[in-house]
Structure 1
Amino acid sequence: MAAGAGGLLSAALLLLAVAGPRPAPAELTDGNSEHLKREHSLMKPYQGAGSAAMPLWDFQGSTMVTSQYVRLTPDERSREGSIWNRVPCFLKDWELHVHFRIHGAGKKNLHGDGLALWYTQERLMPGPVFGSKDNFHGLAIFLDTYPNDEATERVFPYISAMVNNGSLTYDHSKDGRWTELAGCTADLRNQNHDTFLAIRYSRGRLTVMTDVEDKNEWKNCIDIAGVQLPIGYFFGASAGTGDLSDNHDIISMKLFQLMVEHPPEDENIDWTKVEPSVSLLKSPKDNVDDPTGNFRSGPLTGWKVFLLLLCALLGIIVCAVVGAVVFQKRQERNKRFY
């Protein structure tokens, strides 16, 4: 038994070494202007405020440009609006800082629906997903303020990420749980201070962080490896209201280029033709609706792999021990007849 215990310990340590620790939150830029890409950034003073013309950006729907903010929707029912960069982004590694405000007269759950930030092939295409197109190609970050699924255990407002190759549909009735990669709760509505969100994409790693607590520090929300996004897509923001409403304001969107080294094999890839995808995850289309309301909503991290393997190993050991005991009992019983 001592040798067996030693073998179990060695196997566990080996599994731990293979799984590795969970990666630490990515370091975000300090917002310096050295690598600011102005052609992809929206900042005050907005050129074209109060008119239908705005250099580098197009907007539609209920969107209104003022001297202080871009209001995607007013606090009125059944409104939707969006704003989109005209210039496709050909950066492999980037970081987007968004200064926003969601506020309105509604109390408790009497407000909605939310705001979405996009890096997609499509632009200026209204639709049912927070004012923009469903079955999109690319990345979406949803700032959802209203729980449509009454059975949900999430605390709203809730931030989630979705990568789509055009084949997936965002399910509002389940608040996007079928297609969510990961998410977090963030108290971002009706705050009397500035609220920020940062999206970082670098070497296949997607990181989303928030600064909504007036502490002037980033808080980790989403961290996913194995994300593949092509270059040449467009940045945008959209929002929508239904029977409930809110003001959804974009104050600034600042895009920074990240100076990151890539392995030599990346030079042989045509990044304009990469299909949006996430490795280490089964397709969200394969998720089965669970009667308990549980869906797979996060990446299979190293620790989860380790725990699954450890449980399987312990199960095998338990079965082996039980089998040995049963075999020994039978041997002892057979000896009584001789």
Structure 2
Amino acid sequence: MERCRIFYKFSINIIVFLCLLVASDGQDSSQMAPEGGFLKREYSLTKPYSSNGMTMPFWDFRDRTMLTNNFIRLTSNHQAEVGSVWNKIPLYLRDWEMQVQFKVHGGGRTLGADGFAIWYTKERMTPGPVFGSRDEFHGLGVFFDTYKNGPQAVTFPQITAMVGNGSVKYDHMTDGKSNAIGSCLASFRNKDYDTLVSIKYVKETLQIRLDIDGLGEWRECFSMPGVKLPTGYFIGMSAATGDLADNHDLINVKFFHMDAGRSAEEEAEDWSTVLPGVSYLKPPIDNRDDVGSGDFRNSSVSGFKLFLLVVCILLGVGVCVVVGVVVFQKRQAQNRKRFY
């Protein structure tokens, strides 16, 4: 009997510990500073956003953008809205990583619109038809598209990236596919938890990663070498709604200067006059509606977390058995006393 009680208490403690480990594992890992990264507060956007609800240090905002204590709403769940936030300071770092925590949600269960964009461009604070910002931009646009305009057989939402040189238009009829340098499908809309995206630009390689499952684990959307982005451009985020609508909320932006181990000669190079472009392009993206490394719609639990869950279940079953044995033995003891 005493051994059963000891096992019971020990099992309960183990179950509580493992369940807490499963629940908390990775919650902060995605948001930690990357290896070789140094947080740049002048390019970051964290709570509290504003002391007066009207202005933000280092940032401007316009149109329907609304500041709250817990998020910055670029658009609300109403038709035909645009909103944006833009950093005031030109960026003169060649190697960097930007982590953005966001939430897209609305009344439509399966359909919303139009989406939002994260920018690194020469132009700033200029509204337009590309997710609330201007077309024919210079620099990088990463688009989180929630509404399919074109006939392609894909299931939205979709994330694409485009490098513009000031003359290339965003192709709405193909949802940016014709000029995209990379893409993946990602079900980030109407989640119970926030989504994280990492945009990393180190040694002319652009990498997009996501934590879309709330597990604190990065998964690659795509990686593209040979991307040339000048220094001196601006960081921004914009969003737009159409006939359909969503709330587009920013939770925080963390910007890191990455140590790429460049030589003194490389550091001395002037990249402010470089023309935006891509020296290497993959074959045209077809984004077939199938499961692949760039598909974030049907993600599974990681192996370690699955192991912990199985252990919790087995221990739970063991505790139930022990409790049952203890209760059964007590009842037997009580029944024996009645006969004496």
Instruction: Judge conservation of contact 1:49–1:67 (CA < 8 Å) in 2.
Output: no
**Aligned residues, how many?**
257
Where do residues 117-136 of structure 1 align in structure 2 (5 Å cutoff)? 117-136=118-137
Q: Counterpart of 1:87?
A: 89
Quote how far apart the aligned CAs of 1:214 are. Answer: 1.6
On the 8 A contact 1:63/1:70 being kept in 2, the answer is yes
Gaps of 5+ in 1: 1-27, 283-294, 299-338
Aligned to 1:278: 278
Q: Could you tell me which residue of structure 1 aligns to residue 138 of structure 2?
A: 137
Superposition TM-score, scaled by structure 1 size: 0.73
Q: What is the correspondence of 1:1-338 to structure 2 with a 5 Å cutoff?
A: 30-31=32-33, 35-51=38-54, 53-109=55-111, 111-149=112-150, 151-263=151-263, 266-267=266-267, 269-281=269-281, 296-297=284-285
- Amino acid across the alignment from 1:40: Y
Contact 2:209 2:222 in 1 (8 A): yes
In structure 2, what residue type is equivalent to 1:244?
L
Whichever residue aligns with residue 248 of structure 2, its letter is H
Range 195-204 or range 258-267, more displaced: 258-267
Give the C-alpha shift of residue 260 in structure 1: 1.2
Q: Which whole-Å CA distance do the structure 2 matches of 1:164 and 1:54 have between them?
A: 28
For residue 211 of structure 1, report the CA deviation from its aligned partner: 0.3
SS, match of residue 230 in structure 1? coil
**Aligned-pair identity (%):** 46
Unaligned runs of 5+ in 2: 1-29, 287-340
For 1:49 and 1:195, how far apart are their aligned partners in 2?
Answer: 27
- TM-superposed deviation, 1:160: 0.6
In the alignment, the residues of structure 2 paired with residue 29 and residue 62 of structure 1 have an alpha-carbon distance, to the nearest angstrom, of: 28
Aligned 8 A contact 1:94 1:201 in 2: yes
Q: Deviations over 1:209-268 (max 9, x none)?
A: 000112210010010000011111110100000111000000101100101122465346
**Distance of aligned partners of 1:121 and 1:239 in 2 relative to their CA distance in 1, 3 Å threshold:** same
Q: For 2:154, what is the secondary structure of its paired residue?
A: coil
Q: Distance in 1 between matches of 2:274 and 2:45?
A: 27
What is the match of residue 285 of structure 1? Answer: none
- Give the alignment's Cα RMSD to 1 decimal: 2.0
Shift of 1:107: 2.1
The CA deviation string for residues 13-70 of structure 1, in whole angstroms up to 9 with x for no partner, is xxxxxxxxxxxxxxx883269711000000001124522x222100001000111110
Q: What is the one-letter code of the residue matched to 1:140?
A: G
Matches of 2:218 and 2:270, distance apart in 1: 33
- TM-score under structure 2 normalisation? 0.72
- The letter of the residue matching 2:73 is R
2:133–2:238 CA contact under 8 A, matched in 1: yes
